[in-house]
Amino acid sequence: MSVIRGIGAPTRWLQCAAHHSKRRCYASAATAASSLPADFRNAIEKEASLPTPDPPSDSQTARIVGTHTQYMVPTYVRPPPMFHKGEGCYLWDVENRQYLDFTAGIAVNALGHCDPEMSKILYQQSQTLVHCSNLYYNPWTGALSELLVEKTRESGAMKDVGKVFVCNSGSEANEAAIKFARKCGKEAQPDGSKTELVSFQGSFHGRTMGALSATPNPKYQKPFAPMIPGFKYGTYNDIDGINNLVTEKTCGVIIEPIQGEGGVNVATHEFLLALRKRCTEVGAVLIYDEIQCGLSRTGTLWAHADLPPEAHPDILTTAKALGNGYPIGATLVTDEVSSKIKTGDHGTTFGGNPLACRVAHYMVSRLSEKELQQDVLKKEAQFREHFVALRKRFLEVVQEVRGRGLILGLQLTSDPTPVITAARERGLLIITCGTNTLRFVPPLVISHDEIDKGMAILGDAMDAVFNKPEHVKGTPGQQEMG
Q: Which residues pair with 414 in a beta bridge?
A: none
Could you tell me where the beta strands, DSSP code E, fall in 210-325?
231-234, 250-255, 258-259, 265-266, 285-289, 315-318
Per the rule left: phi > 0, alpha: psi between -120 and 50, beta: everything else, 477 is left
Q: Is the dihedral of CA 142, 148, 151, 153 positive or negative?
A: negative
State how far the Cα of 276 lies from the Cα of 255, in Å rounded to an integer: 11
DSSP string, 329-381: EEEEEEHHHHTT--TTSS--SSTT-HHHHHHHHHHHHHHT-HHHHHHHHHHHH
Contact in structure between 297 and 84 (CB atoms under 8 Å): no
Q: Is 251 helix (H, G, I), strand (E, B) or coil?
A: strand
State how far the Cα of 187 lies from the Cα of 337, in Å rounded to an integer: 10
Our answer to whether residue 289 is catalytic in this structure is yes
Q: Which of 151, 320, 340, 379 is an active site residue?
A: 320
Q: How far is CA 11 from the centre of its chain?
A: 35
Q: Which of 115, 289, 314, 375 is an active site residue?
A: 289
> What are residue 199's phi and psi, to 5 degrees?
-135, -175
Contact in structure between 34 and 41 (CB atoms under 8 Å): yes
State how far the Cα of 294 lies from the Cα of 199, in Å rounded to an integer: 18
Q: Which residues pair with 247 in a beta bridge?
A: none
Our answer to whether residue 345 is catalytic in this structure is no
Q: Which of 40, 204, 383, 466 is an active site residue?
A: 204
State how far the Cα of 179 lies from the Cα of 345, in Å rounded to an integer: 9
Amino acid letter for position 91: L
Amino acid letter for position 227: M
Cβ-based neighbour number of residue 13 at 10 Å: 17
Catalytic sites, residue numbers: 204, 289, 320
